[in-house]
Amino acid sequence: MKRATIEKARRDWAVTPNLLDYERTRAEFSWDAARRALEGLPGGGLNIAHEAVDRHAAGPRRDRLALRFLGKRGETRDFTYARLGALTSRCANVLKRLGVAKGERVFALAGRIPELYISALGTLKHGGVFCPLFSAFGPEPIRQRMSIGDGRVLITTAMLYKRKVAELRGALPGLKHVLLIGAPDEIRALPGTLDFNQLMAEADDHFVIPPTAPEDLALLHFTSGTTGTPKGAMHVHQAVVAHHMTGYYALDFHPDDIFWCTADPGWVTGASYGIIAPLTHGITSVIDEAEFDAERWYGILQEQGVTVWYTAPTAVRMMMKVGTGVIRKYDLRRLRFIASVGEPLNPEAVLWGQDAFGMPIHDNWWQTETGGIMIANYAAMDIRPGSMGRPLPGIEAGIVHRRKDGTVEEVSAPGVEGELALRPGWPSMFRGYLHEDERYRKCFAGGWYLTGDLARRDADGYFWFVGRADDVIKSSGHLIGPFEVESALLEHPAVAEAGVIGKPDPVAGEVVKAFVSLKAAYAPGEQLRRELLGFARKRLGAVVAPKEIDFVASVPKTRSGKIMRRLLKARELGLPEGDLSTVETETEAS
Ligand code: ATP
Ligand code: MG
């Protein structure tokens, strides 16, 4: 479609961004006021599902589409707020009938199907703690997480149960109820299980949410396992205040938006923004059951008229690999705002967005532990490509240095690298790592929550990601963030992906080594290797540029799309590979 036509249409549909005056909004912001933007339970207390579903189901947006599911085979299933209200009440009644107690853990293992979303919201209504598991997990990661989380209930499909869970039952003594989605005959043949749909059919449409307090536990999320064994981060009901507020400022939600978050609810992004935040705003979310496919994705953006799109750098890099040519075939004039999270967004990718979609991609930063977006590039602010943006209203971020005695000092001078830290106190902050109190305590010092990520802040308050503390390379007295090196390599037309590690070296301490996968039109070879080494050296200088480059078919990633540098390093050094529960396997990647 012609650029001019798209630009005119976008002007016609233009909305005023929610965050226009950054300084003023920050100065006037209070969490109490943010809390008042929500309704609260009629009898007092706060419940995520009430804010996400019930208050809209009982209000003027009751007939508005809440969730639209696009099935793998092209089928569509729609749920209005009213219908979602009734179905989530049924689910809460099912849990009540089974005698599930408040605070007990309800796990779900399923693809992006409606029952998963209904279970999440039904559990929250009932007062249980919801824990999503990524559907591609094998039996061991499932067992590990369900034991740590002492799962009382598991909601899954008959197929996944047969393939992965049945063999684990003996190892999960605390698991009392297994609710299966599938054909009744198939479920009847599986001992020790119940039919989810049958229970739902027998349950009542009405459910009065028991008074959950703002500090009651609501969600258990396991981290991505990029740097080690995944941790179980616990979140409370008042996290919804942050979900709602960040949806408003960072994702710029407006009442008529059609939103698409491409993350799976198995990861925190897919729950905080794939389920909760858009619903609290009463807008429509599109959910695609299928995995990444560039043409399918552009088709969805076009056909569903997506206005706000939240995706991840790994997906952006895959789209870049396919090229901009295909995008021109699609009418994406409704698209207004694109955001990305999960990994650093290479400057090259930000600019590619401008070329491909006529708008830059807005990077934002947060973690499973923070429960919601903490630092972001906003719709009305100029982007500095490669920067994560500025802290949300209500969030104070700083750069700190750890001293040897365990205390920390804040670095106020701009441009200095250090650990990214946040002042505790926002509502979606994790309340602990399940069964790992010591590890949790170690995250705090000197009145800061220490994120484990390294960054710097420029003179205007924009934050720049350097790398994870665990991944940073120390070479000849210099600290080198892998992101900078990977970004430089990505600027070369042949490079599709790059992962960079420090390789022990007797002279330099460590030297930079890069693993590179190539775009389809390029083949690995000595000449290209030399070209890339020279290319990086020119951009980065001799100290920071990689000394070695290996070609790989693909860079190892977590299932949530994060480059696993620890695995590249372990393989390079012939060391044990550590926890592999979240590694994306080659077949899934292809
Ligand atoms: P684990 O803690 O188990 O090693 P993880 O940290 O990858 O896994 P998540 O909580 O899913 O688990 O990811 C959060 C991390 O992802 C952040 O701490 C940061 O390192 C990275 N990240 C997220 N968004 C960005 C971003 N915009 N820029 C740079 N890094 C990001
Ligand atoms: Mg982490």
Domain definitions of the chain by residue range: 33-457, 471-589
Choice from 134, 144, 220, 226 to test ligand 1 binding pocket (greatest atom count within 8 A of CB): 226
CA 24–ligand 2 middle distance (angstroms): 32
| Cβ atoms 504, 510 nearer than 8 A | yes
Q: How many CB atoms lie within 10 A of CB 120?
A: 27
Query: Rounded to the nearest whole angstrom, what is the distance from the C-alpha of residue 46 to the centroid of ligand 1?
Result: 28
Give the pLDDT means over successive 10-residue stretches in the chain (590 positions).
68 86 97 98 96 98 98 96 98 98 98 98 98 92 94 98 96 97 97 98 97 98 87 97 98 98 96 98 98 95 98 93 91 96 93 93 97 97 94 98 92 96 98 96 97 97 94 87 92 95 91 95 96 95 93 92 93 93 64
365 DSSP β-pair partners: 375
Residue whose Cα lies nearest atom 1 of ligand 1: it is: 225
Mutate which of 219, 221, 222, 224 to test ligand 1's pocket (most atoms within 8 Å of Cβ)? 224
Closest to 155 measured CA to CA, from 125, 183, 115: 115
Distance 23 CA to ligand 2 centre (A): 29
Task: Quote the pLDDT of residue 226.
Answer: 84
d(CA 86, CA 207) in angstroms, rounded, equals: 8
Nearest to 346 by CA among 524, 487, 516, 522: 487
**Whether 337 contacts 347, CB under 8 Å:** no
Q: Which CATH number fits domain 33-457: 3.40.50.12780, 3.30.70.600, 1.10.287.90, 3.90.580.10?
A: 3.40.50.12780
In whole angstroms, what is the distance from residue 153 CA to residue 155 CA?
7
Closest ligand relative to 373 C-alpha: 1
Name the residue of 562, 579, 581 to mutate for ligand 1: max ligand atoms within 8 A of Cβ: 562
| 566 Cα to the center of ligand 2, angstroms | 13
Q: What's the CATH fold of domain 471-589? A: GMP Synthetase; Chain A, domain 3 (3.30.300)
Distance 369 CA to ligand 2 centre (A): 8
Atom of ligand 1 nearest to the CA of 340: 27
User: How far apart are the CA of 226 and the centre of ligand 2, in A?
Assistant: 7
Residue whose CA is at the smallest distance from ligand 1 atom 30: 343
Listing DSSP states for 90-121 in one string gives HHHHHHHHTTPPTT-EEEEE-SS-HHHHHHHH
Structure tokens at 225: 């396992």
Q: What's the CA angle centered on 152, arms 150 and 158, to 5 degrees?
A: 115
Q: Give the span between the Cα atoms of 273 and 285, in whole angstroms.
A: 10
AA identity, residue 353: G
Distance CA 17, CA 339 (A): 14
Q: Distance between alpha carbon 555 and the CA centroid of its chain, in Å?
A: 20
Residues in contact with ligand 1 (CB, 6 Å cut-off): 223-228, 230-231, 267, 341-344, 363-365, 367-368, 388, 451, 453, 465, 468, 560, 562
Predicted TM-score (pTM) of this structure: 0.94
- 8-state DSSP, 583: B
Quote the pLDDT of residue 549.
97
Nearest residue (by CA) to ligand 1, atom 17, is: 367
Among all bound ligands, the one having the nearest atom to the CA of 267 is 1
CA distances to 20, 260, 355, 377 from 363, in Å: 18, 16, 16, 6
Paired sense of beta strands 177-181 and 495-505, if any: unpaired
Q: How far is residue 142's CA from residue 582's CA, in Å, rounded to a whole number?
A: 11
Tokens linked to 436: 């790992």
DSSP state of 543: T
Tell me the sheet residues that pair with 551.
516
- Taking alpha carbons only, the member of 309, 297, 224 closest to residue 261 is 309
Is the Cβ–Cβ distance between 84 and 92 less than 8 Å?
no
Measured from the alpha carbon of residue 371, the closest ligand is 1
Angle, alpha carbons 163-169-175 (nearest 5°): 120
> Which atom from ligand 1 is nearest to the alpha carbon of 483?
29
Smallest CA-to-CA distance from 368 within 554, 222, 563 is with 222
In the block, tokens 């990601």 appear at 465
